[in-house]
Every structure is written in C-alpha cells, then in structure tokens.
Amino acid sequence: MCDRVVDTIIMQARRKKALVAMSGGVDSSVAAALLQEQGFEVIGVFFHFWKEPGSGTKENACCSLEAKRDARAVADKLGIPLYTINVAKVFKQSVVDPFIQAYACGETPNPCVACNRSVKHAALMRTALQLGADVVATGHYARVQKRGREWQLLRGQDKLKDQSYFLFHLDQRSLARTVFPLGKLQKSQVRSLAKQFNLPVFNKQESQDICFIADSVGSFLERNLALKSGDIVDSKGKIVGRHAGLPGFTIGQRKGLNVGGRGPYFVVGKNAIKNQLLVTNNQNDPRLLMAGVAVKGVSWVGKVKLPVRAWVETRYHNQPAYAIIKQTGPRSVAVVFRSPQRAVPAGQFAVFYSKNGKVLGGGVIHKPISKNYANN
C-alpha cells in the first residue's frame, strides 16, 4: 500500500474533528478517508453552487446531481455524515457576477481562485465553528507547515497537480486550522489509495472546465452580456475579419479568431471606443511582451518585507517568472520581470513564490506597466 502521508499538523492529538469539503471526486474522497484513518472524526460537506437557469448542467461538474450522489456514496462508505450547504447566492455575487463584469471590461478572470477565496474556504470555516471541528480540509494538492511562529503554504509535492496557486489568499489564522492530506502525494498514489479504500469513485475522471458554465465561455457570455460585433484590425490598420463581441478575447489568444490572410494571428489589444479587436501576425510583436504588471487586491500569507525578489506565476501552471515586487499602495504592487513576459492578461492572478516553493501572496493583475517604470 502507498505510504499514507498527511501533513504534520494533523498528527496533533488534541485535534479530533475534521470538516472535509467533498465534491464527489477522487481527491476529496481520499482526503476524507486519510483523515479518518488517522483517527479523526470526519464530517463531510458538499457545496451547492449557483446554476445558470435553464442551461443544463455538465454531468461531471463539481455541484451536479451526479457529484452529490458520488459524495453521498463515499460518505456512506466511510460511515460519516455529509451536510449540504447552499452557497448559490454568495457564489453568484462573489464569483459569477465578477466573472461576467471582468470580461465586459476586457479582462480574463479566473473564477476558481475567486471561488476558493470568497466562497469555499469562508464557508468551511463558518461551518467548522458551528460544528465544533478543529480543522478544515480539502483535496487540494498543497502543503501547510509551521516554521517557528509562522504558518507556511507550500507547493504540492506533485508538480503537475500542484494547486497552491488557488490558495494564496489563506492567511495565518486560516492556515493554522487547514490541512491538505494530499499535499505530499502524487496523483497516481491518490488513485491507488482510492482503490485500496474501495471508494466508489476510484475510477472517476476529473472535471477540467468551469463548473457553472454548461457549454462554453463564449456561449455563456453571449447569454449574459450585450455583445456587439465589430472589426478585427491588423497592425497596419487593415480589416482582416469580424468578431462577435470583444469580451471573451484575451491578450495573446491565437485560436478562435475569424481572420483571413497570412496567419497565425494573435490578439494584441482592444479598442473599446471603435469596438475593434487588434491583432498581429508577428509572433514577436513587442505588444505581446510585457516588462511588468500592476497587481491590485494583494494579500500576503505571512510577513513579507518589500521590495522582494520572487518567482511569479501569472496563470495557473504557467512557467514562473523571476521578478522584483515593489509596493505601490496599501494593497497594490508592481511586478517587474527580469525578462519580458509574453501576453500576461489582466484579470488573471499573479501568485508570488519563494525559491523553495513557499507561497508569499498574490493579487489580481490590473494592467501592464511601462518599460520606463520597470527600468526605474
């Protein structure tokens, strides 16, 4: 049997009860089983998120009827209670509405980060307090450890599955009561453990798409925004095609462009006044390269003295870029890259890491910064 590794925090004898977010997937199911094996009294919680009226639901979405049935089947197998919490209203307000608004403003948001930050963890903490749970747990591939007086959030051991990017918002108080049982495991080990625990979801496939969108982002935006078609214009001002609406396009995008002529074309910007999508067929166009970005809504996991040099991930699983982070306001920073980065989209999250994979913090990418500022 694979080594059943859990973070050292859960070995503390005084902690007896764990509240586990269960989505009906393999990861959260194994997390619950591991905690139970460690002697915890495990309580499961299933979140009911917002569903677009009349849109249908993907069968593998994390809040579908299938997912709820699977979570119930796992809870029954483990002999643990499973509560359902309706977070549809706060999910709509904190995740869906900002998602739509971000696209309307020409940004490219990441709703999964917003969900973890504003919905899931907050609901877990509230429920844990109500039920008297000592810790909360999820199936994320990330690690928590205490070094001296500081709680640290670290990358998961499985580099391909690491999900610390989605958790940069966790502060010291939250980390002190949070465990990630899968943090030191590989995905293959988790699959093996699911079989050994005889969990009914051991062979279930993962859902990779946005949970609240039943079809595509483009179709969802068409239903929720007043889109206006316009021209696609190249770097010489020539009209090379038509777009169905500016929202939904992101800087650096190559696929899905309805253009003619020599390709491939890449999105380099938007002219909202003229309703034009700006493209280039030069993959080395300087407009695709950014010396740095302004980041707002910044939160820090622990104490960080600025300026600081760090590795910055500007999209989930993007190659981290070395940069210096300078404070520009109470919750805003400038991230100046050592080497210009290609097509960093506003609306995504920039997450800051130390060399050894410790999460320092992160925030929302607001806009590029000029070369002149970056060189100061």
Contact 80, 44 (CB under 8 A): yes
From the candidate CATH numbers 2.30.30.280, 2.170.8.10, 2.20.25.240, 2.40.240.10, the one assigned to the domain spanning 226-280: 2.30.30.280
Q: 290-370: same fold as 226-280?
A: no
Dihedral pair phi/psi, residue 194, rounded to 5°: -60, -40
What is the domain partition of the chain in residue ranges? Answer: 11-196, 226-280, 290-370
Nearest to 344 by CA among 277, 275, 269, 247: 269
State the first-to-last Cα distance of the chain, in angstroms, to the nearest integer.
Answer: 56
Token output for 41: 């009294």
pLDDT digits (tens, 9 = 90+) for 233-252: 999 999 999 999 998 898 89
Tens digit of each residue's pLDDT, the chain (376 residues): 444 445 444 444 455 899 999 999 999 999 999 999 999 999 999 999 998 887 665 544 666 889 999 999 999 999 999 999 999 999 999 999 999 999 998 899 999 999 999 999 999 999 999 999 999 999 999 999 999 999 999 999 999 999 999 999 999 999 999 999 999 999 999 999 999 999 999 999 887 678 899 888 888 999 999 899 999 999 999 999 999 999 889 889 998 887 876 778 999 998 989 999 999 999 889 999 999 999 999 999 999 999 999 999 999 999 999 999 999 999 999 999 999 999 999 999 999 999 999 999 999 999 999 766 666 6
Token output for 194: 């699911």
Fold of 11-196: Rossmann fold (3.40.50)
SS (H, E, C) the chain: CCCCCCCHHHHCCCCCEEEEECCCCHHHHHHHHHHHHCCCEEEEEEEECCCCCCCCCCCCCCCCHHHHHHHHHHHHHHCCCEEEEECHHHHHHHHHHHHHHHHHCCCCCCHHHHHHHHHHHHHHHHHHHHHCCCEEECCCCEEEEEECCEEEEEECCCCCCCCHHHHCCCCHHHHCCEECCCCCCCHHHHHHHHHHCCCCCCCCCCCCCCCCCCCCHHHHHHHHCCCCCEEEECCCCCEEEEECCCCCCCCCCCCCCCECCCCCCEEEEEECCCCEEEEECCCCCHHHEEEEEEEEEEEECCCCCCCEEEEEECCCCCCCEEEEEEEEECCEEEEEEEEEEECCCCCCEEEEECCCCEEEEEEEEEEECCHHHHCC
Measured at the CA of 300, the angle between CA 320 and CA 23, to 5 degrees, comes to 75
Contact 367, 335 (CB under 8 A): no
Instruction: Find residue 365's DSSP bridge partners.
Output: 295
Instruction: Find residue 6's DSSP bridge partners.
Output: none
Residue showing tokens 């060399």:
355
Which amino acids are annotated catalytic?
Answer: 115, 211
Token output for 56: 């249908």
Fold of 290-370: Elongation Factor Tu (Ef-tu); domain 3 (2.40.30)
Token output for 167: 């958790």
CA–CA separation, 314 vs 293, rounded Å?
Answer: 10
CA–CA separation, 168 vs 299, rounded Å?
Answer: 8
CA–CA separation, 224 vs 266, rounded Å?
Answer: 26
Pairing of strands 289-300, 239-243: unpaired
- The model carries a pTM of 0.90
